[in-house]
Amino acid sequence: MIDLRSDTVTKPTDLMRKTMAESVVGDDVYREDPTVKKLEELASNIFKKEAALFVASGTMGNLIALLTHTRPGDEIILEAESHIYYYEVGGLGRLGGLIPQLIPGKDGIFSIEQLKKALRPDDIHFPKATLLCLENTHNRAGGRVLDQEKVKEIVSFAKQQGLRTHLDGARIFNAAVASNTDVSTLCEPFDSVMFCLSKGLAAPIGSVLVGNQDFIDRARKYRKMLGGGMRQAGVIAAAGLVALEVMTKRLGEDHRNAQLLATKLDEIDGFQVVNHVETNIIVLELTNNDFTVQDLLTGWRQNGILASSVSEKRIRLVTHYQVSDSDIEKVIRVTKELILQARR
């Protein structure tokens, strides 16, 4: 099966499985798991932040960051299509008591002029804005890498206004590879960053939150509150070590495969790739009436190919380490065959 639904579907590598089986563990709530400590130390060194916290998922990591940076009733500034707002079950409102201020962006980021207009004056009637969140790469913008100059300008202005700043960096290593920039440089402006080990890096579970020591100390308590205090977590942290030490170095292959697939699909009559493919995400639009998105997804599935619809006319495809050159060739071949069948 060629699974292009997401880069979260990957299976742990053989090296990960071996490392997990041999991992030295302890009770992480007591801060006694040496493998978790090693992962957190490695993460803080890579990102050049003071400390790190291993968490169960990206959604948990983002929510912990929001809880740590804010108080109930605060307003947070988000791009309108952000993952935190769109895909995280409303946790910012239900569990954080936070009010989102949404700013529609272009290519995943809004302008500083938009931010200035969104920040309301100090008034007894308004909630206080205390946190700015950005996302890099931006999922719903088709895996776009944020313009770093815009990021620095926006974050600098936000800090001047007294806001704290958080980056949803679920796929930040993809951004680093695509822009040929070190992750620490991309993340330097932010007070905190969350990144995933299970998106593109093939770990079976886990994300990491990084920031200064005081932030992580407070975040650790919120992790416990949310049920994320893990015991012998070194078993899964071991896979995270392989993800950071090995799998980050091969993400360029996924980007090349995505660009190849996008180019070939865009050449087929009736299809249009609507995003600028910088990383491993393709957004494909059907532009004729020969068949529907559902027809295509069904035809692909019958031929061992999985993908996800994002609207009535659009499909998202995501490459990862278990998608090979021959898989790309098969997707193109099968797609052309399905079109011919539909037109007969």
Q: Rounded to 5 degrees, what angle do the CA atoms 115, 117, 121 make? A: 110
Mean pLDDT taken over the chain: 97
Would you say residue 342 has pLDDT above 80? no
- The pTM for the full model equals 0.96
- Mean pLDDT for the stretch of residues 62-68: 98
Q: For position 340, what pLDDT does the model report?
A: 83
Q: For position 288, what pLDDT does the model report?
A: 80
- Which class does domain 14-247 fall in? alpha beta
Q: For position 344, what pLDDT does the model report?
A: 65
Would you say residue 64 has pLDDT above 90? yes
Positive or negative CA dihedral for 241, 244, 249, 255?
positive
For 200-257, what is each residue's pLDDT tens digit? 999 999 999 999 999 999 999 999 999 999 999 999 999 999 999 999 999 999 999 9
Domains of the chain, by residue range, sit at 14-247, 250-343
Residue 280: pLDDT band with limits 50, 70, 90 = very high
For 310-326, what is each residue's pLDDT tens digit? 999 999 999 999 999 99
d(CA 150, CA 143): 17
Residue 290: pLDDT band with limits 50, 70, 90 = confident
**Which pair of tokens denotes residue 6?**
């997401």
Torsion (CA) 123, 127, 129, 134 in degrees, nearest 10:
-140
Would you say residue 289 has pLDDT above 80? no
d(CA 336, CA 344): 13
CATH topology classification for 250-343: Aspartate Aminotransferase, domain 1 (3.90.1150)
Q: How far is Cα of residue 143 from the mean position of the Cα atoms in its chain?
A: 9
Residue 133: pLDDT band with limits 50, 70, 90 = very high
